[in-house]
Structure 1
Amino acid sequence: MKYLIAGLGNIGPDYENTRHNIGFMILDAFAKASNVVFQDKRYGFVAETRLRNRSLLLLKPSTFMNLSGNAVRYWLQHEKIDNEHLLVVVDDLSLPFGSLRLKSKGSDAGHNGLKNIQELIGQNYARLRFGIGNDFPRGRQVDYVLSEFSDEEKILLPQKIETAVDIIRSFCLSGADVTMNQYNKR
């Protein structure tokens, strides 16, 4: 079985440690734990690994957030992976910092990266939402998501990222329903 795990973010040093790039950060941690490195390929940075009898393709799109669907669609088609074996890892303003929610399908919830993916492949795919909180003044959402985590959040970030990596493993090994039951209650 093949899986595509897409972590959303923006490429370049200006965005590297921003809240909007938590998808990239989680995939970097997954790749490091799997002892694989990303290679610059079409539409993104790609790493391949195995988890028991499953083949995982990790994707960090190089299309920038708002065009993430181009990369996701390309790699789904190129690798002949079904949508039910796709997991998109994304930041979420509506969840408190560090909260993790796996959903087997759903709306884009106002997230431009998810919106573009949905326009190109529909909404029947799993997404792992990582809460980044919403502690910003009215009208300053863009500045907030493109800023770095606070010092307090940076202390807690490694543990939260490790839990996200565990959720990805569980999704690939046990499926969305089992994983949601195990992790969404926390």
Structure 2
Amino acid sequence: MALDFFLTSLIVVLLPGTGVIYTLAIGLGRGFRASLAAALGCTIGIVPAALASIIGLAALLHTSAVAFQIIKYLGVLYLFYMALSILRDGGGMDVNAEKTSKGYLRIATTGTLINVLNPKLSLFFLAFLPQFLPAGAANPGLELAKLALAFMAMTLAVFVVYGACAALARDYVIRRPSVMAWIKRCFAATFGALGAKLALTD
């Protein structure tokens, strides 16, 4: 695989999107292990988009305005739900000193849904992966699958680092409830803004 693929993928993965914001929020609210579940869920959420790109179904979202709009507004509603969930007591970013494995599956599922309900991800893969397909590849599908797996591995690694950094700041936040209150508002506003941005996507 070409160096330009890894460099471009790294830049894309590092950019703060819904998955990054969610992983950071969980890392701050629940600790490192919970952030691992979030990172894994967000990575799994890439699978449908990658498969759609490989088998050509992403073209449906590109040509069918109805299909795109349906998925888009499901994604918008989910992002707004995430914003409200963060603000309410007992939401995903509820911080306490106790670390428990309870809810890891739910955290991973939420991370998966965040990416599954983002139609732009399918269109991104449709436009992104073919650019790095080797000329004259005997099995284009296999080559695209390798690129998709490499992108997912990079996503998981970067998100784990993001979660670890957020978890390191957790103890500081626990001792300062007012700081956490402001952080929760900022994350909620970010999810709301991402939802509004998605709603305006053509």
Give TM-score scaled by structure 2 length: 0.27
Higher strand share: 1
Higher helix share: 2
Give TM-score scaled by structure 1 length: 0.28
Higher relative contact order (CA 8 A, sep 6+): 2
